[in-house]
């Protein structure tokens, strides 16, 4: 529990002052980033509820859910929101576009997080239509991240108009690449 507590305290020290600041700016994107960070810590905390005397089938069941819901949902929301926050802070995308992409990612996770794991059930005898539903939801989960990356790439291609973009070329290229190469 110490690692999870450390993670939450570290993030809280950085994020909560910005959430509580009375600057009148819309804080929806920051609230989404905060909730995704908290959910990651809490979600991995569930892995600490079994121990050495827990039956292997129970441990494997929960391990499977933790790993696959992380890949199929939490990571998508966190990656999209974190990159949206970075891109909007740097001026590569509008704040409204960043918030819309983050909300779309969170909505897709809420709608298709569990069905998105169905494409992994091949060896358990799941029917083809059920796996197709899972594959469809899994493929849709990266759409907001790709749209966000495309928007950032379009603005980055105008780099000759802003000298600060030349100084941040490689970090920006890394973030844009994350948006496209995640899946």
Containing structural domain, residue 142: 1-182
pLDDT for 21 equals 79
pLDDT for 182 equals 55
Q: How far apart are CA 101 and CA 144, in angstroms?
A: 5
pLDDT for 174 equals 78
pLDDT one digit per residue (tens) for the chain, 183 residues:
577 678 778 877 877 787 787 876 678 888 888 888 777 777 777 777 777 888 888 887 777 777 777 766 677 888 888 888 888 888 888 888 888 888 888 888 878 777 877 777 777 788 888 888 888 887 787 788 888 888 887 777 766 666 776 777 787 777 777 766 655
Q: Measuring CA to CA, which residue among 97, 131, 170 is closest to residue 178?
A: 170
The CATH number of whichever domain residue 147 belongs to comes to 1.20.210.10
Q: How far apart are CA 96 and CA 25, in angstroms?
A: 12
Q: Measuring CA to CA, which residue among 31, 2, 5 is closest to residue 18?
A: 31
| pTM summary value | 0.71
Q: How far apart are CA 157 and CA 152, in angstroms?
A: 9
Count of domains observed in the chain: 1
pLDDT for 124 equals 77
């Amino acid at each position: 529990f110490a690692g999870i507590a450390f993670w939450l305290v570290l993030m809280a020290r950085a994020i909560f002052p910005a959430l509580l600041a009375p600057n009148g700016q819309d804080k929806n994107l920051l609230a989404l980033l905060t909730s995704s960070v908290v959910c990651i810590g809490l979600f991995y905390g569930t892995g600490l509820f079994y121990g050495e005397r827990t039956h292997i089938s129970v441990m494997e069941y929960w391990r499977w859910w933790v790993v696959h819901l992380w890949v199929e949902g939490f990571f998508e929301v966190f990656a999209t929101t974190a990159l949206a926050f970075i891109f909007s802070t740097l001026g590569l995308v509008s704040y409204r576009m960043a918030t819309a992409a983050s909300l779309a990612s969170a909505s897709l996770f809420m709608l298709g997080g569990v069905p998105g794991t169905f494409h992994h059930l091949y060896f358990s005898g799941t029917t083809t239509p059920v796996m197709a539903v899972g594959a469809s939801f899994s493929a849709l989960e990266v759409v907001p991240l790709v749209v966000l990356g495309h928007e950032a790439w379009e603005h980055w291609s105008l780099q000759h108009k802003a000298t600060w973009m030349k100084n941040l070329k490689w970090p920006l290229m890394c973030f844009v690449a994350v948006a496209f190469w995640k899946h």
